[in-house]
Structure 1
Amino acid sequence: MAYTSPSRHRTALLASSVAVMGLLTACGNGAGTASPPQKVPGTAAPATGDTTTGAGATRAAPSGGITAPGRTATHPGSSSAATAGDSASGTGAAARSTRCHTSELKAMVGRNDPGAGQENFPVVLTNTSGRTCTVHGYPGAAFVDASGRQLGPDPKREAGTPTTVTLRPGASAWAGLTFSNPGVSGARTATPAALIVTPPDERDHLTVTWTAGQVPVGGNASSVFLTVLGAGAGP
């Protein structure tokens, strides 16, 4: 058996212990503290997926929201945002308005129902579309001559509480158009060619031929009034 001197034996044990401690420190499998990272000369390569040019580049999400798969981010200042595939929250696409649009309506002026020096006409809006829609509040109206020039001021609104009227296909809503009889009031008059009617919250109007004679357009007691829309085709 070969003889090993005590000094050489101690040296070998010390070297072996240092090697084992080095392995434990590199694996991070112990209670000791790892050595701080060392600086290595050279240029670091860019992180994967952090480029902004080239095919398949990934850009950082803009501030104001992160878009998850199957969703649409809400942009700052938007009143509502459609969310695709959002069945979990139950929101779905933005709700479609139920308001009746001008293109879905027909207008007419009903028979005069005079009383106590007052002329009273129902202005009727009928749903001609294939869907149910709603009207709410006051219609707009104005008398015009054959060239389309307005006669007299806009009608005034009589006090009333606007309600939402639901119109199934073929159903109607009406508003009262009233004014003092010019022969009683002494107002200046004109004979309109038509009454133009604008449904609530719409810009386009409907034209109704006017066949009821003279209307007040100026002077004493010349105001024309409109009431809120109610269900039906007249009182």
Structure 2
Amino acid sequence: MVYTPRSTRHGALLLGTVAVLGLLTACGNGHDVHSNPPVTDSGTAAPATGGTESPASGASGPAATATGAAASSSVPKANPSTSGGGTTASAAGTRCHTSELRASVGRNDPGAGQENFPVVLTNKSGRTCTLRGYPGAAFVNSSGTQLGPDPKREPGSPATITLKPGQSAWAGLTFSNPGISGAKTATPAALVVTPPDERDALKVAWSGGAVPVSGNSSSVFLSVFSPGTAP
């Protein structure tokens, strides 16, 4: 047995007591050194809703009600990249949003077995904005279900159209007369129209009669926007 002097044992006891007190103090000071920093989830702002008229479907065929809700789960809801090409940063920054526009369908101008309707978007806001490319569009029934496939795009050269408050732009909606083509038809309750590069749509009551939805020559076509309200 090794003899340890009493003074040495007393010093070791004091050092041990000091160490224990120091540990207790560190644990009771109210700071947890292992706690994680707070995490903030980033969100995405909902697109603007509004408008009192209707949408139609383009290459992506979006459709929604005037309040911004989808007309039907069977109808696409977005109309991305409808410009038909790249847009400048300034054009993108001044783009007309759905809530700033009013939609309407002009009078039919038939010819050579074709039905031709101008789809018109009018700037109802108090600022100047721009449109470029094709609208989205879809025919829907009274319950909001899409009738027929999405319209196709006619070849065209998109141009940026500047709309001052109250000014309009139009895009052509054309299809072969079903009585001549023999296509199967349906009579829509509305046309749903989505402005270029927007997600929300406008709904316009349809009074143009039966439209082709399947069979021979049933395709519906859309043209790029041009200034004004009609050809």
TM over 0.5: yes
- SS of structure 2 residue aligned to 1:183: helix
* Aligned counterparts, 1:16-35, within 5 A: none
Give TM-score, length-normalised by structure 1: 0.59
Aligned partner of 1:105 in structure 2 is 101
Aligned partner of 1:165 in structure 2 is 161
2:140 to 122, 131, 144: 144
Shift of 1:143: 0.1
Shift of 1:97: 1.2
Q: Deviations over 1:118-158 (max 9, x none)?
A: 00000000000000000000000000000000000000000
Q: Deviations over 1:89-109 (max 9, x none)?
A: xxxxx9781000000000000
1:190 partner letter: A
Shift of 1:116: 0.7
Between the aligned residues of both structures, percent identity stands at 76
- How far apart, in 2, do the equivalents of 1:174 and 1:98 lie? 18
Query: Which one scores higher on RCO, CA 8 angstroms, separation ≥ 6?
Result: 2
The answer on 1:120 being equivalent to 2:116 is yes
List 4+ stretches of structure 1 deviating above 4 A. Answer: none
- How far apart, in 2, do the equivalents of 1:140 and 1:212 lie? 18
The answer on 1:212 being equivalent to 2:212 is no
- How far apart, in 2, do the equivalents of 1:234 and 1:227 lie? 12
Shift of 1:115: 0.1
- How far apart, in 2, do the equivalents of 1:106 and 1:234 lie? 15
- SS of structure 2 residue aligned to 1:178: strand
- How far apart, in 2, do the equivalents of 1:200 and 1:160 lie? 15
Aligned partner of 1:193 in structure 2 is 189
- How far apart, in 2, do the equivalents of 1:213 and 1:157 lie? 22
Which ranges in structure 1 are unaligned for 5 or more consecutive residues?
1-93
Aligned partner of 1:131 in structure 2 is 127
* Aligned counterparts, 1:174-189, within 5 A: 174-189=170-185
- SS of structure 1 residue aligned to 2:93: coil
1:150 partner letter: Q
Aligned partner of 1:84 in structure 2 is none
- SS of structure 2 residue aligned to 1:103: helix
Aligned partner of 1:60 in structure 2 is none
1:135 partner letter: L
Which ranges in structure 2 are unaligned for 5 or more consecutive residues?
1-88
Give TM-score, length-normalised by structure 2: 0.60
- SS of structure 1 residue aligned to 2:143: coil
- How far apart, in 1, do the equivalents of 2:210 and 2:98 lie? 27
Bigger Rg, structure 1 or 2: 1
1:217 partner letter: V
- How far apart, in 2, do the equivalents of 1:116 and 1:128 lie? 35
Shift of 1:222: 0.0
Q: Deviations over 1:2-49 (max 9, x none)?
A: xxxxxxxxxxxxxxxxxxxxxxxxxxxxxxxxxxxxxxxxxxxxxxxx
- How far apart, in 1, do the equivalents of 2:141 and 2:124 lie? 27
- How far apart, in 2, do the equivalents of 1:220 and 1:152 lie? 13
